[in-house]
Each structure stands twice: as structure tokens, then as C-alpha cells.
Amino acid sequence: MEAVKVRPNKINCSPSPLMDPTTVNALLRRLDDLELRVGASSDGENGANLRDQAKYLQRDLQALYETRPEIKKLTTLAEELKLSNESRPFVDGPSSQLTAGDKKKVLLLKYPQIKTAYNTLIELSNMDISRLINNISSMSDKTHDLGSDRNKLLSREKQIKQLTSDFHWLVVENMYVLERYTALAIEQNEFWTDVESQMKRASAAMTIERKNKPKY
């Protein structure tokens, strides 16, 4: 089998302002490795090579940012909040766990969803499934064969009760998550309150020091 030669870097793939050099270099190394694996030639006999395609994609991305500034703003916000994928080794297995800091970030970012899910699960947990099954035949809608539905529900009584139990456990788990989030929010609020208090004391001390400083 003929060995595939590594083509020289003929294309100046300058990094985008929104991409750090480390990310760009890592992508270029991956492109070279992919071209070695698939046998892409440097002459582009079968179309544009991978690095050319990356250049075109980068150009299209820049054009997209120019025509849709809101997307660029979203990308900038994601970088400021450190939400973008960072270059880090990936470990596949049970040992790949989130750090405490990452978990706190996820909790803060997912608060609206957590609150909505919590309220929904509370509503579901308050449903009396047995009462719904027993009273289904007394409903006012007589145009439907409710007796058949009742029999179907009774035949699945075990699964319904198991589902209800699972919902209750899920409510408890979501309550724990909500409590953890509340504690985290209180902790952060106390931290920033303390920082603000220290800043005020330091500012007052500097003001007094300037006033008491002898003038020459």
C-alpha cells in the first residue's frame, strides 16, 4: 500500500477572533490526522481537502456573524460565561465526573427548568391515582366508553402505582436539588454582601486617611 504523504501547510487558516490559537492548532492537527487516515491528497484531486473545507467553513461562519450579529453576541456571551467547550482530556468511564464547581454552574444555569419541573412534579404528586381510577365511571361525559377505559386502567394498576411511586421519588430528588440551589444562592449572596461591606470599610478608611494626611 502506498504511503500517504503529509502535505505542507499551504493555506493560511488564520484563527477567528472568537477562537483561541490553542483550539485552532488542535483542529488543524486533527485535520492532518484525518487526511492521513482517509488518504486525502495535497492536490485536491477529489475535491477540496479537509483544511480547505475548514477554511471555507470559517469564512462562512464569519459571514454568518456579519449578517446575524445576534449569533455573534450569543457566542461572545457563551465565552464570557465560560460555557464553550474547553480543551480538556476526555475520560470515558465511570470516573469522568463533574467537579463541584461545574455542578454549581449547571444548577445556576438550570434554575428556571428546575423550578418548572419542581412545580409540575408537586402537582403530579398531589394526584390521587386510585381515586381517579375508581371514579372514572361517574364522569359526566357519557359519549365515551368510560367503562372500557376503567378496565384498561385497572389492568395496569400495578404499573400506574409504580409510576406514581417513581414520581414521588423524583419529587424528593428535585426538592433536594432545589434546596441545594437555594443554599448556593444564599451562600453567593452572603459572599457578595461581605465583599461589598469590606469594600465600603476600605473606602471609608482610605477617605479618613486622605483627610488626616498632612498637607505640605
pTM above 0.75, yes or no: no
Burial of 129 (0-12, 13-18, 19+ CB in 10 A): middle
Query: In terms of residue numbers, what domain contains 58?
Result: 21-80
Q: Is the dihedral of CA 77, 83, 85, 86 positive or negative?
A: positive
* Domain identity same for 50 and 115: no
CA 125 distance to own-chain centroid: 28
Q: Is 43 a domain residue?
A: yes
Residue ranges of the alpha helices (H) in 39-84? 50-67, 69-80
Closest CA to 10 of 58, 44, 61: 44
* Domain identity same for 139 and 194: yes
* Domain identity same for 104 and 30: no
Q: How far apart are CA 33 and CA 39, in angstroms?
A: 10
* Domain identity same for 123 and 164: yes
* Domain identity same for 118 and 193: yes
Q: Is the dihedral of CA 129, 135, 141, 145 positive or negative?
A: positive
Q: Is 151 a domain residue?
A: yes
* Domain identity same for 113 and 206: yes
Indicate the number of domains in the chain: 2
Winning range, highest mean pLDDT, from 81-90, 137-146, 168-177: 168-177
Q: For 128-144, what is each residue's pLDDT tens digit?
A: 777 766 666 555 555 56
Closest CA to 104 of 34, 24, 187, 194: 187
Q: Is the dihedral of CA 144, 145, 151, 152 positive or negative?
A: negative
Q: Is 2 a domain residue?
A: no
Tell which of 80, 112, 131 closes a domain.
80
* Domain identity same for 154 and 62: no
Question: Are the C-beta atoms of 40 and 50 separated by less than 8 Å?
Answer: yes
| DSSP annotation of 83 | -
Mean pLDDT along residues 144-154: 72
Phi, psi values for residue 39, rounded to 5°: 80, 35
Q: For 155-171, what is each residue's pLDDT tens digit?
A: 888 888 888 888 888 88
Q: How far apart are CA 61 and CA 13, in angstroms?
A: 13
Q: Residue 57 above 50 pLDDT?
A: yes
